[in-house]
Each structure stands twice: as C-alpha cells, then as structure tokens.
Structure 1
C-alpha cells in the first residue's frame, strides 16, 4: 500500500507584520529582537509561499517599516498581499478582511494567522481579537511581539490566550504550518532554521527571558 502524499498541517496560513516602524526603535522593549523574529518569519513565508500582510501606523509620523525587513519583503514579492498605512489600531482593516483568504472561511476554511509586531497590548491585541471574532485561528508569536513597557506584554498575552488565541513561538508555528518532513519545501526550511538559529535564541532570551 502506497504511503499517503505528504501534506501541510495548515491549509490556509497567513503572516501579519504589525507596525514594526522606524520611529519605535528607541521606545519599544527589545525591538531588535522583534525584528529578528519577523525577518525569520518572512523568510519562512517566502519559502512556503504563505501570503503576507503588512501595516504601518500613521506612517507619515512614525516612519516606514524598518529597513532590516525591507529586503525580506522585497524577496517575498507578490506574496505581500497588502502593505497598508492606518490610523485604526487593528490590522484587520476592510481591505484585508475582504481578501479572499479571509472573506470566505466557509470555502477556504479559517485562516491560520501568525502575528508579530507591536504593541502587544494595543495593535496586536485588537488585530487578534478581530480575527478571532471573524472565525479565524490566531497564533501570537511570543518571540515576535513587544510593547514600550515590557510589563504590558505578559498581560496582553494572557488576555489573548483566554480569548482563544494560541500563544506560541515562531519556530513552533513554522513547523506546525509544515506538519510533515516529507513536503518538498522541508529541506529548504531546515536551511532557514539553521541560518536563523542565533537569532531565534537571541529573540527568545531577550523577549521571554526567565519565562522559557
């Protein structure tokens, strides 16, 4: 009897990059670690052909998405489904909510959305709550979110966990997304994981510290 064809565990994944902007460099706790995780997630999304949604908050005042993420976004090319500026705190804007990946969950199944960015207790929280209310699955990557005051982060993650979001790590989400070492992309993803091993450790230690 032939072995079943390897299939990914997640059928409708998406990546949200929330407001990781230049003007936040001096105000957000361990922003450089959020950037490391976000860059790894973008590389993984590109290798796995996962749609990417990016926002900025009041770009004219707070700046563009940080320079370190620009090469990865450029490499993702058409996988970047939206790069939107907003005043609304939630990323789940009408232009994103109406995207086919989210607009017809009865057809495509709920999206499995990984969120990284800032601030954990404001834009990340409101984005996650809106996605959950729309029937999607939400994964908040604890090694990829932060706030100006570090004490806000744990409270936000506890609230989101209670609301139904999964609080996990970037590596866990990426491997769960794949689900099977037999998929064609797995070998390339092992390379991404090896390349970013130090970044992963730095982000976990910097953002989670004694909690891991």
Structure 2
C-alpha cells in the first residue's frame, strides 16, 4: 500500500523535444499533473529529471511549473539512480522509502531508474497511465519486466486514493475533483 507519509514522487524526462514523439503524451502530462498537484497538497516531496536537456530540451512547461530549480536534476545516465547528485538527493530521506515514478520513456529511463531504486531496497511503484514510450509495445514489455522484478505497476487513481486513505475529508473533497 502506498502511503503519503512514506512516498516521494519522481518525474522522469517529460521533455519538450521528446514529448511530441511519445504515445499518448497528453494523457501522460495530464496524469502527471494530477500526481504533482496531489503530492503538493499532501506534502509529498517531488523531484524531476531531464535527460541531456541541451539535446532534448527542458521539462514541458505544464509540468516544469510544479518544480523549484533545485528539484530538477540533469542527467546523462539513462538510470537517474546512477547520477550521484540525484541518488544522494533521494537517499537523503530514507524515511520516505516508497518511490512513485512517472514519465518517459517507460522502457528506457523509467525502467532503468525503477530497477536501480528497487535494487537499492526502495519500494517502487511506476504509474503506467502517467508514463509512456514512443512505441506502446515497448512500454507494455517494460511494465511486465518491472512487475517481475517486484516493482508495482499502478494507475494515477490507485496512487491518489491510497495516498488519501479515506473519504469525507477536506483533502478528499479537493483531490477527488482532479479525477472527475
């Protein structure tokens, strides 16, 4: 079960020059926004990566607006976990051992980062409807492989309702509007 007080949200490489080639990118951006808004409301730390931003550009503006500059990490490794500065940032809060991830591309940077976190002992969940690849078949194979490795493959609504835990609260009333 995902718990807000144990979670960190990581957005992987939803960048301006890559986004147009991604299958269902509008859904990825919309669901990533829902996750980011929810994390903000629930006090869940967020961070993002940009794969070689000189070539692929920055995060798309709709998502970049959620982040402070110190929450965005440039990388050249496909696995963000291999980038020492990013790894230290994430490992700095071991009280939050649940890593909830979304982004692109599912079969490359998302998968390799998720596998790195898993090998390091984190509880990892990849949000399938907030992630994608250029070819949807690559994404589907990545989700199957990640599940075999003990990584949870979940949806935006699954994460949102697990983080909220119950109905009838002000937070529930506010955040449930994001998925209507």
* TM-score when normalising by structure 2: 0.89
2:78 alignment counterpart: 89
Aligned length: 178
1:25 alignment counterpart: 19
The answer to whether the Cα contact below 8 Å between 1:47 and 1:189 also exists between their aligned partners in 2 is no
Distance in 2 between residues matched to 1:38 and 1:94, nearest whole Å: 25
* One of 99, 108, 112 as aligned partner of 1:122: 108
2:177 is the alignment partner of 1:194: yes
Distance in 1 between residues matched to 2:161 and 2:92, nearest whole Å: 26
1:207 alignment counterpart: none
Larger radius of gyration between Structure 1 and Structure 2? 1
**Aligned pair in 2 of structure 1 residues 43, 149: CA closer, same or farther (>3 Å)?**
same
* TM-score when normalising by structure 1: 0.77
User: RMSD across aligned C-alpha pairs, in angstroms?
Assistant: 2.0
Distance in 2 between residues matched to 1:19 and 1:131, nearest whole Å: 17
Distance in 2 between residues matched to 1:41 and 1:104, nearest whole Å: 20
2:31 alignment counterpart: 37
2:98 is the alignment partner of 1:112: yes
Q: What is the CA-CA distance between 1:82 and the residue it aligns to?
A: 2.5
1:210 alignment counterpart: none
Q: What is the CA-CA distance between 1:111 and the residue it aligns to?
A: 1.2
For structure 1, the 5+ residue unaligned runs are: 1-7, 198-212
For structure 2, the 5+ residue unaligned runs are: none
2:157 alignment counterpart: 171
Distance in 1 between residues matched to 2:40 and 2:12, nearest whole Å: 17
Q: Secondary structure at the match of 1:60?
A: helix
